[in-house]
């Protein structure tokens, strides 16, 4: 059960002091009513640690219009906000003002920026081959977006850039239109992981399983599909309907990142089924035989140690339908998971314990749970949250059903 997080009394009093209908809109506005209702709670009910919303939430698009069902959000190394929605890729500054817009027919589904300031967007694209028009998944690779002069550098297609068909005819087949690219993650050398899902998952097939994570180099060439991930049988090392892939390479910029290829994967349960562990942490371990991908035994063991926290990333059936993942690379090392099944945002420590570190002097000695959500359009509610990102202590959520980017900041001990 996700708890509702009350607002801080000083925050509410500051809003009262503003008066009028300014920052939060009309006094009859539902969000305003919720804020002032929270302020009526008894002081003893306030939490020492909680995420509070930052207003205004963003709804402006990159071309000055409005966002339409945003699907993902990413705050890049250049400190611009990148958002995909039904119309394409929107670029906003940190104040939420329009900076640029790149139309993408059919819309974009996820977005990320690498350390070179190159931007990758997952989408779909039509191509005509053999007198037929095919609608196929692609990863669009852009340069120059930071400078306001975007240029499409490359298109990674399924199946044309897919090394799984290197010994076979690369022409599309009927199942290819059922394939999706669902997420992109950046590696320390600016290679990328791409999560893919689709209907073909027979290991002996001439096509490698659609349900997998693939690696592409900076030239857009497929270098591997991680066959260690089982595409059909749920386990601690599987890839069932991948919804996203996440590495630990994120802003702020630095000279170098550890040369590691670890990742997390979010899996969507098949219709009518549940997954015991839909979010998995996978370790890439260098051995004499090369890199081996193994379950993250450290996080699994932590989940079996109740004295370390109240709940864990590896609790069974923790999530209903996780949609996106994010990482705080500022030293806090928190992980974030959005779940469209519970319309919620979950927060975990680097060890996989749900919650954040308690502030000095706190009554708690274990991580304090700050996850929140629930279906609705209130300030701490979501409708189908499809994307999440983190930058400079602020969590951004692509609140798809509410057509907005929600923003939250962690307050500790009322500071």
* Residues 129, 34 share a domain: no
**Cβ atoms 117, 94 nearer than 8 A:** no
Question: For residues 395 and 330, what is the distance between their CA atoms, to the nearest angstrom?
Answer: 13
* Residues 161, 18 share a domain: no
The DSSP result for 125-160, as a single string, is EEEEETTEEEEEEEEEEEESTTTT--EEEEEEETTT
Contacts of 254 (CB under 8 A, 6+ apart): none
pLDDT value at 16 more than 50 = no
* Residues 293, 191 share a domain: yes
Question: For residues 179 and 181, what is the distance between their CA atoms, to the nearest angstrom?
Answer: 7
Band of pLDDT at residue 202, cut at 50, 70 and 90: confident
Instruction: Provide the domain limits for residue 304.
Output: 50-412
pLDDT value of position 48: 75
Question: For residues 322 and 20, what is the distance between their CA atoms, to the nearest angstrom?
Answer: 40
Band of pLDDT at residue 21, cut at 50, 70 and 90: very low
* Residues 25, 71 share a domain: no
* Residues 196, 67 share a domain: yes
pLDDT value of position 204: 61
* Residues 211, 161 share a domain: yes
Band of pLDDT at residue 30, cut at 50, 70 and 90: very low
Question: For residues 325 and 108, what is the distance between their CA atoms, to the nearest angstrom?
Answer: 17
pLDDT value of position 206: 57
Residue range 203-216: mean pLDDT, rounded: 82
Percent of the chain scoring above 90 in pLDDT: 77
SS3 290: strand
Place of tokens 């290991």: 203
Band of pLDDT at residue 406, cut at 50, 70 and 90: very high
pLDDT value at 165 more than 90 = no
* Residues 230, 339 share a domain: yes
Band of pLDDT at residue 413, cut at 50, 70 and 90: low
141-145, 201-205, 236-240, 316-320: segment of lowest average pLDDT: 201-205
pLDDT value of position 362: 80
Domain boundary among 46, 62, 78: 46
Place of tokens 């749920």: 234
Question: For residues 396 and 388, what is the distance between their CA atoms, to the nearest angstrom?
Answer: 6
**Cβ atoms 412, 47 nearer than 8 A:** no
Question: For residues 355 and 8, what is the distance between their CA atoms, to the nearest angstrom?
Answer: 19
* Residues 154, 29 share a domain: no
pLDDT value at 306 more than 90 = yes
Residue range 354-361: mean pLDDT, rounded: 91
pLDDT value of position 17: 40
Nearest to 136 by CA among 144, 127, 145, 148: 127
Band of pLDDT at residue 360, cut at 50, 70 and 90: confident
pLDDT value of position 283: 98
Strand partners, 154: 141
pLDDT in tens, 79-92: 999 999 999 999 99
The pair of structure tokens assigned to 109 is: 């589904």
* Residues 87, 8 share a domain: no
* Residues 388, 303 share a domain: yes
| CB count in 10 Å sphere of residue 5 | 23
What's the CATH code of the domain at 375? 2.120.10.30
Domain boundary among 16, 31, 46: 46
Distance (Å) of CA 277 to CA 227, 266, 312: 19, 9, 11
* Residues 120, 21 share a domain: no
pLDDT value of position 169: 67
Residue range 188-208: mean pLDDT, rounded: 86
* Residues 84, 1 share a domain: no
Contacts of 283 (CB under 8 A, 6+ apart): 262, 293, 294, 295, 296, 297
Band of pLDDT at residue 172, cut at 50, 70 and 90: confident
Number of independent structural domains in the chain: 2
């Amino acid at each position: 059960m996700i708890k509702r997080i009350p607002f801080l009394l000083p925050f509410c009093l500051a809003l009262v002091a503003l008066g009028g209908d300014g920052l939060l809109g009309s006094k009859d506005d539902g969000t305003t009513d919720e804020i002032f209702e929270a302020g009526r709670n008894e002081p003893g009910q306030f939490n020492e640690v909680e995420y509070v919303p930052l207003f205004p939430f963003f709804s402006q698009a990159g071309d000055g219009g409005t966002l339409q069902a945003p699907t993902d959000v990413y705050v890049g190394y250049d400190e611009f906000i990148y958002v995909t929605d039904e119309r394409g890729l929107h670029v906003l500054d940190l104040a939420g003002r329009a900076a640029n817009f790149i139309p993408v027919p059919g819309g974009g589904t996820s977005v990320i920026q690498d350390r070179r300031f190159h931007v990758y967007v997952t989408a779909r694209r039509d191509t005509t081959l053999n007198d037929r028009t095919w609608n196929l998944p692609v990863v669009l690779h852009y340069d120059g977006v930071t400078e306001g002069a975007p240029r499409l550098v490359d298109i990674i297609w399924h199946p044309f850039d897919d090394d799984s068909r290197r010994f076979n005819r690369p022409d599309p087949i009927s199942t290819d239109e059922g394939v999706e690219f669902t997420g992109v993650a950046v590696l320390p050398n600016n290679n990328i992981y791409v999560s893919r899902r689709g209907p073909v998952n027979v290991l002996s097939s001439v096509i490698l399983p659609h349900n997998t994570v693939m690696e592409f180099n900076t030239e857009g060439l497929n270098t591997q599909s991680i066959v260690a991930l089982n595409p059909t049988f749920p386990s601690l090392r599987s890839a069932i309907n991948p919804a996203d892939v996440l590495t630990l390479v994120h802003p702020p910029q630095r000279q170098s990142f550890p040369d590691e290829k670890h990742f997390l994967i979010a899996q969507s349960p098949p219709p009518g089924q549940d997954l015991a562990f839909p979010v998995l942490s996978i370790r890439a371990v260098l051995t004499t035989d090369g890199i081996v991908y193994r379950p993250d035994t450290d996080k699994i063991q932590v989940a079996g140690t109740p004295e370390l926290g109240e709940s864990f990333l590896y609790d069974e059936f923790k999530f209903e339908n996780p949609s996106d993942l994010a990482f705080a690379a500022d030293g806090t090392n928190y992980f974030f998971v959005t779940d469209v099944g519970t319309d919620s945002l979950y927060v975990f420590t680097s060890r996989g314990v749900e919650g954040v570190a308690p502030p000095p002097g706190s009554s708690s000695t274990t991580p304090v749970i700050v996850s929140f959500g629930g279906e609705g359009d209130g300030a701490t509610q979501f409708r189908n949250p499809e994307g999440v990102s983190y930058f400079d202590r602020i969590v951004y959520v692509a609140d798809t059903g509410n057509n907005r980017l929600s923003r939250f900041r962690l307050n500790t001990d009322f500071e």
